[in-house]
Structure 1
Amino acid sequence: MKKYAVCGVSNRAITMFIQPMLRNFTQQARLVALLDKDPKRFAVCKQDHPSTQGVPEYKEDEFERMVDETRPDVIIVAGRDDTHITYIEKALNRDLDVISEKPMTTNAADSRRVMEAEKKSKGKVTVTFNYRYSPYHTKIKETILSGKLGRITSVDLNWYIDTYHGSSYFQRWNRNRDHSGGLSIHKSSHHFDLINWWLDQKPVEVFAYGDLNYYGNESEYNPDQVDGRHCHTCEVKRDCSYYSRWNSRSNSITVEDDHITSDEKRKETYTSYRPDQCIFDSEIAIEDTYTATVKYDRGSLLSYSINFSLPYEGYRLAINGTKGRLETTEFHAPSRVPFPVPEQTIDYFPLFGSKEVIHVVKNQGGHGGGDPLIQEDLFLGEDPLRPYKILSGSEDGAYAVMTGEAVWRSVKEHRPITIEELMKKEPMHQ
């Protein structure tokens, strides 16, 4: 049995790691320590899961004492994105294995630091890219590996975030680039990892455009240009289209999302955490819209776009190869889509021949059924019967972050950005 310590007792830490350890992997994993700067987070965790009552608690600067006293085998890093680098490095310096929530870091320079620290350590870094584990995404990987598409020439990926989920990033800490790296890293890096994994190629150059179109002080939806408002006390919230769309006057509307806890009100007293900050504050400077072209080391090209304020959530994907084309469309959170949606399939078009529709066996669980599968690999070891590598390491985490940073740098600098130059540069601040 391995012993685990959690650094950053976030909602993700509780639902993705702590809860499975307590319910499904009691013979393989034991939680021995919790570390966070906010005692309220310990209280919430122990209230939700009484069996953790006796687990020792440590402050954010007590990592060394925690390791000395509890002797964990693995450190789970799941706090705010900018804290990841600190605990990953500390763990590797103590020769401990690390499981890091994605993104691994908030910038390319810190990703490089992780890889360098890992080279000197007996510990190993695992990054939890659970998008890889969706049954649709593994089927796409298997289709590519089968050779049905031939050599991949280009990929088109358009990702859509609806007004509920998209606005949530601008209500929380994610809107601060120093905390999240911006959405091209916090969110898009997950998509870039998917492409890197599907193609089994490395990105080499990126050119991108991006802008802040929906949120911030200058938004056409801003009912009043006043800073510092919060949704729960805002006097003009009924004039806010984003608030009105997802909240009734009686608060009887319940909205579900596997990215956002439904119990945010209970967590409003978390230190330095407000989930209801105004999406029109003037301090918001990150982008909410991107388009990008990415070139890969074996010739494939990616055309990518993401928009954080759309009527529905999901993606459209096409992968083109020398032998055929693959297409699929996903509608995420169908309960929030204002029209009937078809069941997702994968359509295969041979270059010369008839269309084939591929149906996928679904799994239960978060992120399209991917969460339970990655949890099995994390706590039981990778499935030895799976014919391909799926669990991510530090290099995977770094390339995803670097692609995301290249997108942002390209937007700011109006030029192509190579991944090679990001291997050498220090972090760029707004």
Structure 2
Amino acid sequence: MKKKYAQVGTGGRAGFYYEAIAGTYQETSELVGFCDVSQTRMDYANKIISEKYGHVKVPTYFYTDFDKMLDETHPDVVIVTTVDRVHDQYIIRAMDKGYDVITEKPMTIDEKKAQAIVDCQKRTGRSLRVTFNYRYAPHNTKLRELIRDGVIGDVFSVHFEWLLNTKHGADYFRRWHRNKYNSGGLLVHKATHHFDLVNFWLNTYPETVTALGSLNFYGMKNAEKRGIDHFSYRYHGDPNMKKDPFAIDLEGNEKLKALYLDAEADSGYIRDRNVFSDDISIEDTMGALVHYHNGVIMTYSLNAYMPWEGFNVVFNGSKGRIEMKVVEQSYINAGGERGEEGALTGKTITVFPMFGKPYEVEIEEKEGGHGGGDPVLLNDLFGKPVYDEFHRAASHIDGVMSIMTGIAANHSIASGQTVSISDLIHL
């Protein structure tokens, strides 16, 4: 019997889920409803699943009719892919009505909303899963295996730096993410991936966080420093757009046009805001010091204006050191400018034994995004899951503890103090 799914939020990230259900996993899964603020976007989603995959068009519901959708379609699972700030509303309403939930990361954006979700899960006993696809990438799984197997002994410290370039990184400053009210900032929205990976690699959770952050590159105050000699509220219709390296052309991209430009009338959402305008409230330069329950310390940095995209991470242990470097293909969300989400252009894992010769570790890749990780995740969600020795499926607790590092970091930036996770959330 097919499992039924209803999805709330049909923006750029939503297709990762509804296309998998309508396509690869149509024998085990079925879409029964879409819910969104924009009828235009829901119509586009229905067009994709019907024309591309032959899936019957599903009923659509305005966002105020979310409960009506659940009552009429009776899904087995609700998929939440909305703006981050309302994840909690739909997660809680679905679980309170007796439904399991799959949510896009981050689970939510602050400690009050996180606590409400935790309390609801305890009250209802429903399943809540957060989809961390980075866990499934072969290089990230291999790193977990090396640490688990004691290749460098006991891990004492981690240095982790993530680089977003001026293509992908700038995109967060064009979209709704630019407002911390919507996203919690990059330390929550983006770094939830990174902090979850550290929790996963080390099999532990954070204890205290000290952080700093600032807006150094984007925003109106930095426009003159960047050599910007013109300004517009948005890029669409700007005569200077073609010579502006930070502009995107919604009109010239079929998917961006369908999801955003054509949907402006009923969504009210402007997708291509100028990255040097004056209402940006998130940081583009961030650093954190994190102490974990198992005694490990981590230094972390995230910069959103780098010349290349990817990350470096090192682990220092009692028997040696592991270094991993990953260079990713840059992209614009929903822009269709790369073949697969997370496709990699280069990666190495090098082990430095305490008293031995350094060596590189082989990484086995397969077809699909994130080096073959995305198909494994999607099969876990919508297909026929197989035993996973690494236990990569992320629970609501994993979801909470990934965002709490970033939430604590936001508090630390605001207060200048070290913040204890246990003061913010009670599991």
Report the counterpart of residue 254 of structure 1 in structure 2: none
Q: What secondary structure sits across from 1:44 in the alignment?
A: helix
Report the counterpart of residue 334 of structure 2 in structure 1: none
Report the counterpart of residue 414 of structure 1 in structure 2: 416
Please tell me whether residue 62 in structure 1 is matched to residue 54 in structure 2: no
Identical-residue share of aligned pairs (%): 34
Tell me if structure 2 keeps the 8 A contact 1:221–1:241: no
Please tell me whether residue 303 in structure 1 is matched to residue 299 in structure 2: yes
Please tell me whether residue 78 in structure 1 is matched to residue 70 in structure 2: no
1:81 is displaced (CA, Å) by 0.8
Report the counterpart of residue 26 of structure 2 in structure 1: 26
Please tell me whether residue 223 in structure 1 is matched to residue 228 in structure 2: yes
For residue 246 of structure 2, the aligned residue among 242, 247, 252 is 242
Report the counterpart of residue 36 of structure 1 in structure 2: 36
Report the counterpart of residue 261 of structure 2 in structure 1: 268
5 Å-filtered alignment, 1:368-383, equals 368-380=371-383, 382-383=385-386
Query: Normalized against structure 1, the TM-score is what?
Result: 0.89
Cα 1:415–1:381, aligned 2, differ >3 Å: closer, same or farther?
A: farther
Q: Give the letter for the 1:90 counterpart.
A: R
Q: Distance in 2 between matches of 1:25 and 1:53?
A: 14
Worse-superposed segment, 308-317 or 386-395: 386-395
Tell me if structure 1 keeps the 8 A contact 2:77–2:100: yes
Tell me if structure 2 keeps the 8 A contact 1:313–1:332: yes
Report the counterpart of residue 6 of structure 1 in structure 2: 7
Cα 1:215–1:46, aligned 2, differ >3 Å: closer, same or farther?
A: same
Q: Give the letter for the 2:171 counterpart.
A: S
Report the counterpart of residue 131 of structure 2 in structure 1: 128
Report the counterpart of residue 401 of structure 1 in structure 2: 403
1:238 is displaced (CA, Å) by 5.6
Q: Give the letter for the 1:322 counterpart.
A: S
Q: Give the letter for the 1:21 counterpart.
A: I
Gaps of 5+ in 2: 332-336, 338-343
Gaps of 5+ in 1: 252-260, 425-430
1:290 is displaced (CA, Å) by 0.5
Cα 1:242–1:59, aligned 2, differ >3 Å: closer, same or farther?
A: closer
1:345 is displaced (CA, Å) by 2.0
Tell me if structure 2 keeps the 8 A contact 1:222–1:280: no
5 Å-filtered alignment, 1:260-339, equals 263-266=255-258, 267-270=260-263, 271-333=267-329
1:380 is displaced (CA, Å) by 2.9
5 Å-filtered alignment, 1:88-107, equals 88-107=91-110
Report the counterpart of residue 195 of structure 2 in structure 1: 192
Q: Distance in 2 between matches of 1:87 and 1:343?
A: 38
Q: What secondary structure sits across from 1:290 in the alignment?
A: strand
Deviations 1:341-384 (A, max 9, x none): 98422111111111121111112222333211100111235421
Report the counterpart of residue 175 of structure 2 in structure 1: 172
Q: Distance in 2 between matches of 1:262 and 1:183?
A: 27
Q: Distance in 2 between matches of 1:113 and 1:381?
A: 31
Query: Normalized against structure 2, the TM-score is what?
Result: 0.90
Deviations 1:161-214 (A, max 9, x none): 010001111111110111111111000111000001111111010111111011
Cα 1:62–1:28, aligned 2, differ >3 Å: closer, same or farther?
A: same
Tell me if structure 2 keeps the 8 A contact 1:382–1:391: no
Cα 1:278–1:380, aligned 2, differ >3 Å: closer, same or farther?
A: same
1:10 is displaced (CA, Å) by 1.9
Cα 1:66–1:283, aligned 2, differ >3 Å: closer, same or farther?
A: same
Tell me if structure 2 keeps the 8 A contact 1:316–1:328: yes
Q: Distance in 2 between matches of 1:66 and 1:300?
A: 46
Q: What secondary structure sits across from 1:367 in the alignment?
A: helix
Q: Give the letter for the 1:233 counterpart.
A: G
Q: What secondary structure sits across from 1:218 in the alignment?
A: helix
Report the counterpart of residue 428 of structure 1 in structure 2: none
Tell me if structure 2 keeps the 8 A contact 1:9–1:78: yes
1:149 is displaced (CA, Å) by 1.7
Q: What secondary structure sits across from 1:392 in the alignment?
A: coil
Q: Give the letter for the 1:312 counterpart.
A: W
Report the counterpart of residue 258 of structure 1 in structure 2: none
Q: Give the letter for the 2:7 counterpart.
A: V
1:4 is displaced (CA, Å) by 0.5
1:305 is displaced (CA, Å) by 0.4
Q: Distance in 1 between matches of 2:268 and 2:153?
A: 50
Tell me if structure 1 keeps the 8 A contact 2:167–2:330: no
Q: Distance in 1 between matches of 2:214 and 2:68?
A: 44
Q: Distance in 2 between matches of 1:197 and 1:137?
A: 9
Q: Distance in 1 between matches of 2:99 and 2:291?
A: 35
Q: Give the letter for the 1:3 counterpart.
A: K
Please tell me whether residue 233 in structure 1 is matched to residue 237 in structure 2: yes
Q: Distance in 1 between matches of 2:41 and 2:195?
A: 31
For residue 390 of structure 1, the aligned residue among 389, 392, 395 is 392
Tell me if structure 2 keeps the 8 A contact 1:217–1:225: no
1:422 is displaced (CA, Å) by 1.4
Q: Give the letter for the 1:179 counterpart.
A: N
Tell me if structure 1 keeps the 8 A contact 2:5–2:76: yes
